[in-house]
Amino acid sequence: MPLMKSWVASANDADTPFPLNNLPYGVFSTGDEPPRCGVAIGDMILDMAAAEEAWLIDLGEPDLFSMPFWNDVMELGPEAWEALRARLIQMLAEGSADRGAVEPMLIPMERATLHMPLVVAEYTDFYAGRHHATNVGTMFRGAENALPPNWLHIPIGYNGRASSVVVSGTEIRRPWGQLKGPNDDLPRFAPSARFDIELEMGAIVGTPSEGPITVQEADDAIFGYVLLNDWSARDIQAWEYQPLGPFQAKATATTISPWIVTKAALDPFRVDTPPREVELLDHLKDCGPMLYDIELSVTLAPAGKAATTIARTNYREMYYSAAQQLAHHTTSGCPMNAGDLLGSGTISGAEPSARGSLLELSWGGKEPITLETGEERSFIEDGDTLTLTGAARGDGYKIGFGDCVGTVLPAAEDPYAR
């Protein structure tokens, strides 16, 4: 699909992440005005509350866009999602008869503060990247036992904390936790010294379900996608994870990008999952291209210094798609809600430069990476800013998500010191 031309000039720039082909959904505020829904177009934000008030947008329900979240729109279902996108394209396309009415409703992005674009109902994080799972398993169990016996049969996951999902730009405080190193006789309570990131994509459920659904039904239920950074305290995780898996190591924060890119905007970039080494059971089998060709990267910038790109990979590297993850999640009858967030799992490629976590990049801390500043990193140091970026590239345009950024602050004083 070629670039769709808009009367918003900045939306026609090949370098903008927000052309007319994209139209991602976010929440913004300006000055003292309350947060409300907006749509990114070029370097502007369309004030959806204003458009709704002027009857330029009407989905049959009142006050959808004056709310500081998109959950109410999600709950209207796929037909409403399609109608909304069609109307937005009509309003913003080159030659639109609505230009005179819409233009005053555009807010320069530089004037806006971005907020969480949704209320996260529940959060589940998966472990569905084969290169990542193989790398981590090799480090801890050896190459011959790298993948758990179930890994090639089901997308493995755990239930995380919806309460600690934050929007890009939120500062992250280094966590305290119980640690026990290989040379420690007893566990101790201390700040994490092996704090890490995980480069992921997040799928947002738009259509609720009450029982098991198929992979196709799961794909139809997904509202859109965000970039996702699953902050991980590796030393806390190493002590706590057996036998039930990640807990406090993953509870500090999960950062998402500020714009929800709709499934419709990503449809031209669909690709197949990798060939299966083991045939999946019928309820998880692929039913068409369910992944996306989205280029991803991670940069690390020490406090006050230039950033270094430390990893480049692609979402197409995943072994299981978000639709398969969602379908698997429902097999027990588990209800899913509008606003549920599914983390893909760390997205790593085959090459060392494509590893989506510092745990892999430094091979468990044994092989520190060197930044362009000359400094070395095995894990995140205080003051470091980590930035995740992603874009699907079309003919003369790209579909972006906005950066997913977090700066790590020093640990607070001992919360139990009296």
Strands 172-173 and 404-409: parallel
Kindly write down the DSSP assignment for every residue of 277-319, as one continuous string. SSPPPGGG---S--EE--EEEEEEE-TTS--EEEEEEEGGG-S
CB 50 within 8 A of CB 28: no
Q: How far apart are CA 165 and CA 148, in angstroms?
A: 28
Number of other residues whose CB lies within 10 A of the CB of residue 372 = 13
Q: Is 39 helix (H, G, I), strand (E, B) or coil?
A: strand
Q: How far apart are CA 22 and CA 41, in angstroms?
A: 8
Dihedral of CA atoms 137, 139, 145, 146 in degrees, nearest 10, equals 30
Dihedral of CA atoms 391, 394, 399, 405 in degrees, nearest 10, equals 20
Catalytic residue ranges: 132
HSE, side-chain direction, 13 A CA sphere, residue 330: 26
Q: How far apart are CA 200 and CA 183, in angstroms?
A: 33
Kindly write down the DSSP assignment for every residue of 329-371, as one continuous string. HTTT---B-TT-EEE------SSGGG-SSHHHHTTTTTS-EE-
Q: Is 243 exposed, middle or buried (0-12, 13-18, 19+ CB in 10 A)?
A: exposed
